[in-house]
Structure 1
Amino acid sequence: MWKTAKKNTLPELLRLTDPGVREQLEALPGSKVLIGLGTDGQPVCVDLDAESPHVLVCSASGGGTSTTLRTLAAQLLHHGAHALVLDLKRVSQQWARGLPTVTYCRDIADIHDALVGLRAELKRRRCHVVGCVGV
């Protein structure tokens, strides 16, 4: 007979009003975003400067991706970041509409133009770093 260890369960929902959460958020440097709390109550963070500048959020419909992305974006916007929000569904990220440091696109043409602009900006930054000539 197999013995199984008791699984640690994570809380289903983490709120800013939960004890200690706001304090933990305020203590983080601007490059870190709080993903959640571990089973031991310690913050689980990603440092976008020291670890990786990328975060992948993936789940089935209704799995919380929109809420997770909104939470991550809110933390970064609080520290002066700019966000590009592409909301093809037109309802998933309405919180972003009208915010001063957010470019919010929901139409195919606007999303296309934003991605073309993003490509140009990434190319400009890459050339600035590696010194492109005649590109």
Structure 2
Amino acid sequence: MKKTVLPKMLSFSAPDLREQIEALPEGTALIGISTTGQAIAVDLDAEAPHVLVCTGAGGGSTTMLRTLTAQFLHQGAHALVLDPKRISHLWAKTLPTVTHRGNIAGIHDALTGLATELQRRLRLDGDLTGVPRLIVAMDEADATVRQLARYWKTFRRNDEPRTSPAVIALEEAIWAGREARIHVILDGRANRILAGTSAREQFATVILSRVTTDTWRRLAPIAVPAPKQSRHPGRFHVIQHDRPVHETQAVVMTDAEVVDWLTDPDNNQS
């Protein structure tokens, strides 16, 4: 297939791009444009229901989480944004359908609350009419899970389980999320969460940028050999089961664009 030259930047404010994004079906979000000229998208209702984003330093994982989450919010979803740096997703603090948590205590409580919500939804036995899709976006998943484990070790009582209930809740959301319309977008290698092959298979879309060969082999074992990694901002490789892997220029949505779009959707100026 003939390759095309990727744009240096794919901004949400580019002509017609916002209209294309708004025309996508519910549950679908645009990642970007590949070297074949095709639109590369996430479809939460097809195949596995979760997304893994893994990048090296400066690879754009925070921007990717924001851009994907914002598109689902525009379609009526709610979101739980877990922001361990406390400043990476400030846009999320201003939106009524988003719960933003930064410190580890808050993230722990939010995830244990997620376990309750998951069970509530599962008890509906598939009758989720009127129940909004829930996006769980976790930045720096590896470091956050380690911090949650330490936090639980400090505060747990002797009669309580050794494994953090917050970590268990996240794992349960990954396994049962499809039935409950709960979808996890993780940033990181997620070594603790994706320990087994079957767990990795819950992530139909894997988005990689600036990763090592070893990381590529672990997260994208069916897409070999590892392609050359670009240092250009916004360049990713998207792995979706047995589909061909092409370099992709990702859509960039800034904090201000997201807030303006979601609070004033009738405003055509992004």
Shorter-chain TM-score: what band?
Answer: 0.7 to 0.9
Distance 1:8 1:41 in 2: 6
1:36-115 correspondence to structure 2 within 5 Å: 36-115=32-111
Moved more, 49-58 or 91-100: 49-58
Normalised by the length of structure 1, the TM-score is 0.81
Aligned-pair identity in percent equals 59
Q: How far apart are the structure 2 equivalents of 1:44 and 1:58?
A: 17
Unaligned runs of 5+ in 2: 127-270
Preserved contact between residue 34 and residue 72 of structure 1 (Cα < 8 Å): yes
Task: Report what 1:133 is aligned to.
Answer: none
**Other-structure match for 1:15:** 11
- Say whether the 8 Å CA contact 1:24–1:43 is kept in structure 2: no
Query: 1:124 Cα shift?
Result: 2.9
Match of residue 25 from structure 1: 21
Contact 1:85 1:102 in 2 (8 A): yes
Task: Give the CA RMSD over aligned residues.
Answer: 2.1
The 2-side partners of 1:7 and 1:45 are apart by: 18
Structure 1 position 21, deviation (Å): 1.8
Cα distance change, pair 41–18 in 1 and its aligned pair in 2 (3 A): farther
Q: Is the 8 A contact 2:92 2:100 kept in 1?
A: yes
Deviation readout 1:56-105 (Å, 9 max, x if unpaired): 11112321010000000110110111110111101111111121000000
Q: Could you list the runs of 5+ residues in structure 1 that have no partner in the other structure?
A: 1-5, 131-135
Tell me, in whole angstroms, the C-alpha distance in 2 between the residues paired with 1:99 and 1:73: 12
The answer as to whether partners of 2:3 and 2:37 remain within 8 angstroms in 1 is no
Q: Relative contact order, CA 8 A, sep 6+: which one is greater?
A: 2
Q: Following the alignment from structure 1 to structure 2, what is the Cα–Cα distance between the partners of residues 108 and 26?
A: 34
Partners in 2 of 1:99 and 1:23 — Cα distance? 22
State the alpha-carbon separation in 2 of the partners of residues 118 and 30 from structure 1: 22
Task: Name the structure where strand makes up a greater proportion of residues.
Answer: 2
User: Structure 2 length normalisation: TM-score?
Assistant: 0.43
Number of equivalences: 125
